[in-house]
Amino acid sequence: MRSVLRATKLCAAATRLAPGHGFATSSPSAYQATLERYSTRKYSPPDRKTSKYDVFRNMILTQFNVVVDNMGRWSETNTEYRNFGVRSEYGLNNEIALFRDTIQKAIGLANKGATLRKENPLFWSLRNAFIRGDVKGLTAELRYSFQSFMLRSKLTHSTARQRKLADLRYPMEWFPATRAMQRTIHLHVGPTNSGKTYRALQALMNSKSGIYGGPLRLLAHEIYSRFQANGKPCAMITGEEQRIPDADNYFISCTVEMTPLNRIVDVAVIDEIQMIGHDERGWAWTQALLGVMAKEVHLCGEERVVDLIKSICSSIGDKCIVHRYERLSPLQTMEKSLGNDLSNLEKGDAVVAFTRVNLHGLKNAIEETTGRRCAIVYGSLPPETRAQQAALFNDPNNDYDFLVASDAIGMGLNLEIKRVIFETSMKHDGTQYRSLTTSEIKQIGGRAGRYKTAWQAATATSDEANQVEEKKVGYVTTLADEDLPAIAKGFNTETAPLEAAGIHPPSHIIEQFAEYFPPDTPLSFILLRLRELAPVSERFTVYVPEISAKIADTIQEFPLTIQDRITVLHAPISLREQGQMDLLKAIAKCISTRSNGALYDIQPIQLELLDATLEDFNNQGRRYLHAIESLHAAITLYLWVSYRFPNIFTSQALAFHVKDAVEEKIEFYLENNAVFDPEVHTKVREKRRREARAKDMKAEMEVELRRLQEEEDESSAEKLAGIAPSEDDSIVFDQSSAGLDEPLVVDESDYETGLKDKEEKPKEESAATPAGYLTDPTMYPSCFWRGKVTWQLYLACLLSNSNWPAPFILHHPSKRNTLSNPFHKPHPHGGTRQQKHKSSTMTSTNPDPSAAAPAFIPLEANPELMTSLLHKLGLSPALQIHDVYSLTDPDMLSFVPRPALAVLLVFPVSAAYESHRLAEDALLDEYKGKGPQEPVLWFRQTIRNACGLMGLLHAVANGPAREYIQKPSDLNTLLETAEPLEPASRAQLLEKTPALATAHREAASQGATEAPEASDDVDLHYVCFVRGDDGTLWELDGRRKGPLNRGQLESGEDVLSEKALTWGPRKFLEREGADLRFSAVALAGSLD
């Protein structure tokens, strides 16, 4: 998304191009950027008249630049290009230029009305990827399309055979042994507390052999414990743990993904069958339904799955019997919340939260407020502890009156709950916060009403059952008033029927499919190619998880067999953290060499943390918790691979011991340190609510966009003439453009003309509409105006040709030069290249360097890169860099976690600024501060183009951020060495610190826009604002004579407070008049 914010032309009133920007501008045309970068082909500038999909074209070209940057330049060691047939740098430049031309042609066809998949497959794929996955999805699709383009000469000859092998219309045929059986499918559907799962489990309990497959490890353990308690031998099988009894015949309780498909049993129970439609995990339920070898298969779930299951059963010839159930006790949504007051809790209440920190914080707060005990239940608790806590809550004869639990209770845990209280109506889905779905609300809230009593009522007489219902009403409410309407609406909304079941290509098909590609072709490409070609029936949908493609790319460098690669694809890992990626690579190396798999031999597993205490982390609880949770995730992954590669990863027993020890450390910390502050909680919840509302609106927009796309495709099919459709639905490229090693001739005169023609004048404003405002702003919810999602929705509207005006404020005469537009962000590299036509009055931001001073590549103001740079140097993962979308709008400022510890402002070095700087510096003495008495740690800049790095050093070296620097680390060593030195000596220290130069070079070379040369002059500059330990707001700039005191902040005011912004960043905006080249980022707590 950030590259779009940097380079996409905004078609809105009062937009103008900032002069002299080759990249990192406020709003340059992405087409111009495309001409400037890797230009190897003559371009004709597009018509001045804006066409329907021009904005989308600009975004595609910009994101393609990102793809090329990430893939790297051609070299003999760049195996990715070689795997796709590129044998020289000339060939690569040729392919890049030809693919850009292909994109232009695809958009040209779309502008003429050709948008169907048959007639314009590349455009269709890119638009569909953007609608479904925003810019991230578009970028992934561009990478795949470019890879296909490079491999096109080899793909064409085998496409027909690939398509035949990729036929996934009949997944039931993947299980021939099961198809030879005559099965009876019992579908138990009904609301929660209706006894449907109980009836299915009774059938399992009364059988001679059977399998239970559930969605959670805790449910698998609960059923396992129940069978053990009844004297029936039972195995428990999950991805990370297997308990096999010493018996010839035994039942099996497992997670759905681990359901055995080669074992004939009498009864199989598959719980929560509505999960068959889940994007990421639905394939496991489909696989279990189609493949389990049981005479009777009992499916338990919601009413919305009935039609789909009946259709699947009809297609495979199995008899389907539907059993419908009603709730055994009434359920009622209360009219009032608890008003955020825990003293309003009553005996039998269960408070549901969605993070472990919140759960433990609530537990401690409830016990402190009420004086009564509170049990706690969530998925990652040790099974024995979880069972003990549930028993304590269910027992009416003790002082455990309350329960805090995760959403795991919605999946059928046996708990006697009188009232369910939602701590919030939002949940984090792995990328951002979203509102709870209707199904989740009903599943969780439906647990109210004495669950165990409902089970007893299932076997009672009719009169007894009615008495139970009258006495045991279940209630649902929320902790805060703001969440109650959303929960009430969920109970009054009917869930839509499921239309398709998810499937994942089985390993044997992937293996056969891979044989059609050259050796060393990335598995991620093979998976995406298979997904593209695979036809499916209307009952099923193919899903290749995004994480699978990332895992495949991460381990691509290691010489693994295709079978080993496919196995690792399903590893339980999150690649958002560098530590997890390093661990995955270490494990892949062990598999490739078939050695060094002992737990203590794998370096990324930091076993030394077992001896760590909170004091070792300077009493920074967040850092400590993050570290031990990362160790827990590493051990979990080790256990997972130890079951799949037992001859390599041989320390399974030790890993279980370490896992238990780590869990004890986590529980001990949470029990003694987690707090729940209602005031802080309210602020955080409001921020999450805005994010969730934005995502909800985006989801609604996606549905509407698909409808518009279908209508447009129908219209396009009728109107388009003269364009022959391709033979298949896959992306087809013009074979006449082949010639991988042919150098291209560039017409420099046309290139310069293209740049000149693309310089734009400010658009005239409509007399009917004030600049930057909607015709009727009231027609949009407030969340439509905020955050990254807004920009994505706006572009989606454009590319679907929705006639909606741009929903943002760019510039207004009464509010000059504010950052009120969240999309108007330059994200510069710390400056831009000095263009030849630039005014001679523009001053370089570089200081007069010493003879020995190096020159750095300017650093892009990219939060991810800056965060990565700081973490590499030694900053704790508890802090990260965040975008600041506005310096005036409180709602947009709220996207930054508070308190903000530092703000980095990027601004144009204009004549006005230089005059101000020289005048102010003339009144100041040269700064000589050093040692512990120094109010702030300040660095003089002598390194060319290092202002971005200087800003980051100033941000982390002062105020509370200093406490988040890990020991030992390069950053800690640098600051401790610098503290007793005078500014001149500190500057020399920075010049001679190789770790600093290395980390900076790696970060500066990975931006989403082209990195300039280290020798380039720049005209944008970084300045840092921090709050000192004494509350002073300091402006820190290595070009000045020293730190600048901008005023005294009150207690509780951070660098994004109204006072700090007025004294600091806004002064720069006021000084620069009409220049819009500003950007800001902040250092604050991590959102992960």
Residue among 159, 153, 155 nearest 739 (CA): 153
Q: To which H or E segment does residue 881 belong?
A: strand 879-883
Q: What amino acid occupies position 126?
A: L
- The token pair at 787 is 């955050």
Cα 1011–chain centre separation? 25
Domain with CATH 3.40.532.10 in the chain: 863-1085
CATH fold for domain 171-324: Rossmann fold (3.40.50)
Measured distance CA(610)–CA(634) in Å, rounded: 13
Contact present, 186 and 284 (Cβ < 8 Å) = no
78-82, 520-524, 776-780: the lowest-pLDDT one: 776-780
Q: Can you give the pLDDT at residue 716?
A: 52
Contact present, 1078 and 907 (Cβ < 8 Å) = yes
Measured distance CA(506)–CA(675) in Å, rounded: 46
Q: Residue 768: CA atoms inside 13 Å, Cβ hemisphere, count?
A: 4
Q: Can you give the pLDDT at residue 447?
A: 86
Domain with CATH 3.40.50.300 in the chain: 171-324, 331-491
Using CB atoms within 10 Å of the CB of residue 812, give its burial: 0 to 12 exposed, 13 to 18 middle, 19+ buried: middle
Q: Can you give the pLDDT at residue 807?
A: 29
pLDDT digits (tens, 9 = 90+) for 973-1025: 999 999 999 999 999 999 888 888 888 777 776 654 444 444 445 568 899 99
pLDDT digits (tens, 9 = 90+) for 514-549: 988 888 889 999 999 998 888 888 899 998 888 888
**Bridge partners, 297 (sequence order):** 185, 268
Q: Can you give the pLDDT at residue 134?
A: 76
| Residue 204 predicted with pLDDT over 90 | yes
Q: Can you give the pLDDT at residue 156?
A: 66
3-state secondary structure string across 1006-1031: CCCCCCCCCCCCCCEEEEEEEECCCC
| Residue 618 predicted with pLDDT over 70 | yes
Q: Can you give the pLDDT at residue 1005?
A: 65
| Residue 847 predicted with pLDDT over 90 | no
Measured distance CA(259)–CA(285) in Å, rounded: 9
Q: What angle do CA 221, 224, 227 make, to 5 degrees?
A: 150
Residue among 270, 385, 1008 nearest 670 (CA): 385
pLDDT digits (tens, 9 = 90+) for 855-895: 777 777 788 889 989 998 999 988 999 988 888 878 778 88
Q: What angle do CA 785, 789, 795 make, to 5 degrees?
A: 90
Provide the 3-class DSSP secondary structure of residue 99: helix
Q: Average pLDDT of 1044-1058?
A: 92
| Maximum distance among all Cα pairs of the chain, rounded to whole angstroms | 96
Q: Average pLDDT of 635-651?
A: 95
Q: Give the model's confidence band at 779: pLDDT under 50 very low, under 70 low, under 90 confident, else very high.
A: very low
Percent with pLDDT over 70 in the chain: 74
| Residue 391 predicted with pLDDT over 80 | yes
Sign for the CA dihedral angle at 450, 453, 455, 460 comes to negative
Measured distance CA(904)–CA(1056) in Å, rounded: 11
Q: Can you give the pLDDT at residue 79?
A: 78
Q: Can you give the pLDDT at residue 904?
A: 94
Residues with catalytic annotation? 947, 1021
pLDDT digits (tens, 9 = 90+) for 290-332: 999 999 999 999 999 999 999 999 999 999 999 999 988 888 8
Please tell me which residue, 107 or 54, carries the higher pLDDT value: 107
Is the peptide bond prior to 968 cis by the omega test (within 30 degrees of 0)?
A: yes
Measured distance CA(380)–CA(633) in Å, rounded: 11
**In CATH, which superfamily holds the domain spanning 863-1085?**
Peptidase C12, ubiquitin carboxyl-terminal hydrolase (3.40.532.10)
- The token pair at 119 is 């007639």
| DSSP 8-state class, residue 726 | P
Residue found by looking up tokens 């993050």 in the block: 626
| DSSP 8-state class, residue 834 | -
Could you tell me if residue 515 is left (phi over 0), alpha (psi between -120 and 50 degrees) or otherwise beta? alpha
Q: What amino acid occupies position 406?
A: S
Q: Average pLDDT of 59-80?
A: 85
Q: Give the model's confidence band at 128: pLDDT under 50 very low, under 70 low, under 90 confident, else very high.
A: confident
**Bridge partners, 321 (sequence order):** 186
| DSSP 8-state class, residue 51 | P
Strands, sheet with 1020-1027, edge to edge from the N-terminal-most edge strand: 879-883, 1079-1085, 902-908, 1020-1027, 1032-1036, 1044-1048
- The token pair at 275 is 């999960």
Contact present, 1012 and 24 (Cβ < 8 Å) = no
How many residues are given for the chain? 1088
| Residue 696 predicted with pLDDT over 70 | no
| Residue 202 predicted with pLDDT over 90 | yes
DSSP string, 246-276: SSSS-EEEEEGGG--SS--EEEEEE--GGGG
273-277, 780-784, 798-802, 931-935: the lowest-pLDDT one: 780-784
| DSSP 8-state class, residue 730 | S
Please tell me which residue, 506 or 731, carries the higher pLDDT value: 506
Residue among 267, 283, 300, 411 nearest 352 (CA): 411
DSSP string, 281-334: THHHHHHHHHH--EEEEEEEE-GGGHHHHHHHHHHHT-EEEEEE---SS-EEE-
Residue among 1024, 1085, 1077, 1021 nearest 859 (CA): 1021
13-17, 50-54, 212-216, 400-404: the lowest-pLDDT one: 13-17
Q: Can you give the pLDDT at residue 850?
A: 54
Q: Where are the beta strands (DSSP E) in 890-964?
A: 902-908
Cα 215–chain centre separation? 22
Q: To which H or E segment does residue 350 belong?
A: strand 349-352
Give the chain's mean pLDDT. Answer: 77
CA distances from 119 to 161, 553, 877 (A): 22, 31, 48
Q: What CATH number was assigned to the domain covering residues 331-491?
A: 3.40.50.300
Measured distance CA(889)–CA(944) in Å, rounded: 35
Q: Can you give the pLDDT at residue 832?
A: 34
Residue found by looking up tokens 């447009």 in the block: 712
Q: Can you give the pLDDT at residue 702?
A: 63
Most confident listed range (203-212, 541-550, 823-832) = 203-212
| Residue 284 predicted with pLDDT over 70 | yes
pLDDT digits (tens, 9 = 90+) for 314-323: 999 999 999 9
pLDDT digits (tens, 9 = 90+) for 904-913: 998 888 877 8
Q: To which H or E segment does residue 186 belong?
A: strand 184-189
Q: Give the model's confidence band at 580: pLDDT under 50 very low, under 70 low, under 90 confident, else very high.
A: confident
pLDDT digits (tens, 9 = 90+) for 455-486: 343 334 444 444 444 447 889 999 989 899 99
Provide the 3-class DSSP secondary structure of residue 1040: coil
| DSSP 8-state class, residue 202 | H
- The token pair at 242 is 């297997």
Q: Give the model's confidence band at 396: pLDDT under 50 very low, under 70 low, under 90 confident, else very high.
A: confident
Q: Can you give the pLDDT at residue 195?
A: 87
Q: Can you give the pLDDT at residue 654?
A: 95
Residue among 803, 801, 798, 773 nearest 785 (CA): 773
Distance between first and last Cα of the chain: 19
Q: To which H or E segment does residue 236 belong?
A: strand 234-237
